Amino acid sequence: MDETPGPATPLPGLGAPIRAGIPEHGRVPKYYAVKGQLEALLDELGEGGVLPTERDLAARFEVARETLRQALRDLLIQGRVRRRGRSTVVAGPKLEQPLSLASYTEGVRRQGRVPGRNLIGLERSAADPLLAGQLAIGVGEQVWHLERVLLADGERVGLESTYLAVARVPELDREFDPGSSFYAFLTEKAGVELGGADERIETVLASPREALLIGTPPALPMLLLHRLTRDAAGVPLERVRSLYRGDRFGFTTRLEAD
Amino acid sequence: MDETPGPATPLPGLGAPIRAGIPEHGRVPKYYAVKGQLEALLDELGEGGVLPTERDLAARFEVARETLRQALRDLLIQGRVRRRGRSTVVAGPKLEQPLSLASYTEGVRRQGRVPGRNLIGLERSAADPLLAGQLAIGVGEQVWHLERVLLADGERVGLESTYLAVARVPELDREFDPGSSFYAFLTEKAGVELGGADERIETVLASPREALLIGTPPALPMLLLHRLTRDAAGVPLERVRSLYRGDRFGFTTRLEAD
């Protein structure tokens, strides 16, 4: 609520009815008050600073351990703090990735971080009707499924799952280095020219398997990007599901008037 | 996990190391298995269908009430089910709003829903240094703060908080109907031409006050859009913080090659 600068001036034209029926603040829960105190402490400590133990913090703020834990959980989910071994440290700012056709690799590099990927699997299978429709291929045609954990400065931050027709890149398993940029491979080695994509952004919870692969607590909200990419001729190229840690990532975009 | 169509073919070129160090599935928690069974039930019931009681469901799936509740909580957060009075019903699909300069009003109408807004407050105050910098006005200059709950088909789905200089629209409190589109007012009545905006998208938890205003459970992940809008001359116009229920909203965008 630190968004309201200075005292509010009541408006003669808009009297009592403004807030009618909607309590302005309600009761502020205790954990939320503690969270505010913790945030001030985080600012003091600065990025990388180590927090005192839960017991010390509970004593300092004169609250129950459970109340303190709830406040810390919120800060963890928001990405204000993170675990490092047994300690809790002040986290750095979220990574801000532009929404663009550019690859993950390029976006992370632009922010001065080192991108990386760990291969989970590269397998071929037969396209089901949904996927075949999305890729404009026949049902049962062979598709690649490439799944990789995304890294920034060596830390696991996301999970990317890509489907595309084997006919597009028959030698993917032999020619592609799964630790490198897939879009760089497509455009530089496979001769594919990217045209555009339709993307959908949501917030979801990670499944237990996804949480395990990314190494996050299971209740952490994630940003899910679902993308259908076309080549320069407008022909469907790939379907991608990218899951990013909500505590480590945000996306930016520039909107223009029509 | 239903994304892998058909049996996977092992690749001769990529042997054992593919999954090295990363267990493919791990142990599937019991609540997650129950969630899968519940999802099948939701598909059977269809949108608006009423779920059996927790007790009946726990008996049907032969699990503890707490396990069942955990699965239901996940489905609630994902927007697959919703509360209606004392019952739980199958929810409809998420609203998909295009990321564009167009107003909330226009986006919701395009999806065949009726947009609405409830005024929380319209107040004037003095710009603090951060806001003054963002709006390119002097520190201490008067700004409007307009806060409204966003509705779709009468249901509360978001909260929008806008700051702009009083000098831009001195008669805002007298001329603007807070139940109508603010962008329509700006362009049609106040003679402002929109130029563009920079937007940042994150997932956050609602604060207790925000949860109260939107009427959501406090642990629900929200989509936060933070926007700085310019007019056609490139001069900063407004700062907007829009919070949307993650269980009810997704955003779409079309990306083009450079």
Residue B26 confidence (pLDDT): 55
More confident residue, A89 or B79: A89
Q: Structure tokens of A231?
A: 């080549």
User: What is d(CA A152, CA A221) in angstroms, rounded to the nearest whole number?
Assistant: 19
Q: Structure tokens of B192?
A: 């402002």
* Residue B138 sits at the chain A interface (C-beta within 8 Å): no
Residues spanned by CATH 1.10.10.10 within chain A?
A: 3-90
How many beta-carbon pairs under 8 angstroms link A with B?
227
* Residue B174 sits at the chain A interface (C-beta within 8 Å): yes
Which of A202, A207, A216 is the mutation pick for testing B, counting most B CBs within 10 A? Answer: A202
Residue A163 confidence (pLDDT): 97
The answer for residues whose C-beta is within 8 angstroms of residue A21's C-beta and 6 or more apart is none
Q: What is the DSSP string of A162-204?
A: EEEETTTSTTHHHH--TTS-HHHIIIIIS---EEEEEEEEEEE
Partners of A10 on chain B (C-beta within 8 Å) are: 123
Task: ipTM value, please give it.
Answer: 0.81
Residues spanned by CATH 3.40.1410.10 within chain A?
A: 95-252
User: What is d(CA A30, CA B99) in angstroms, rounded to the nearest whole number?
Assistant: 37
* Residue A73 sits at the chain B interface (C-beta within 8 Å): no
Give the Å distances, CA to CA, from B80 to B13, B58, B71.
41, 18, 11
Residue B124: band (very low, low, confident or very high) from pLDDT cuts 50, 70, 90 = very high
Q: Which fold has domain A3-90?
A: Arc Repressor Mutant, subunit A (1.10.10)
Q: CA B230 from chain center: how many Å?
A: 23
The answer for residues whose C-beta is within 8 angstroms of residue A66's C-beta and 6 or more apart is none
Per DSSP, B49 falls in state P
**A55 CA: distance to closest CA in chain B (Å):** 24
Beta strands in chain B (DSSP E): 81-84, 87-90, 95-98, 115-126, 142-152, 155-165, 194-205, 221-231, 236-245, 249-256
Which amino acid does the sequence have at B86? R
Check B194 against A3: CB less than 8 A apart: no
**pTM value?**
0.82
Check A4 against B143: CB less than 8 A apart: no
Assess contact for A77 and A37: CB atoms under 8 A. Answer: no
Residue B14: band (very low, low, confident or very high) from pLDDT cuts 50, 70, 90 = very low
Look up the CATH architecture of domain B95-252. Answer: 3-Layer(aba) Sandwich (3.40)
Assess contact for A257 and B195: CB atoms under 8 A. Answer: yes
Beta strands in chain A (DSSP E): 81-84, 87-90, 95-98, 115-126, 142-152, 155-165, 194-205, 221-231, 236-245, 249-256
Provide the residue-wise pLDDT of chain A in tens; the chain has 258 residues.
333 333 333 333 333 333 333 344 556 788 889 999 999 999 999 999 999 999 999 999 999 999 999 999 889 888 899 888 889 999 988 888 889 888 788 888 888 899 999 999 999 999 999 999 999 999 999 999 999 999 999 989 999 999 999 999 999 999 999 999 999 999 999 999 999 999 999 998 888 888 899 988 777 889 999 999 999 999 999 999 999 999 889 999 999 887
Give the Å distances, CA to CA, from B107 to A17, A97, A223.
28, 24, 21
Check B22 against A193: CB less than 8 A apart: no
Assess contact for B22 and A213: CB atoms under 8 A. Answer: yes
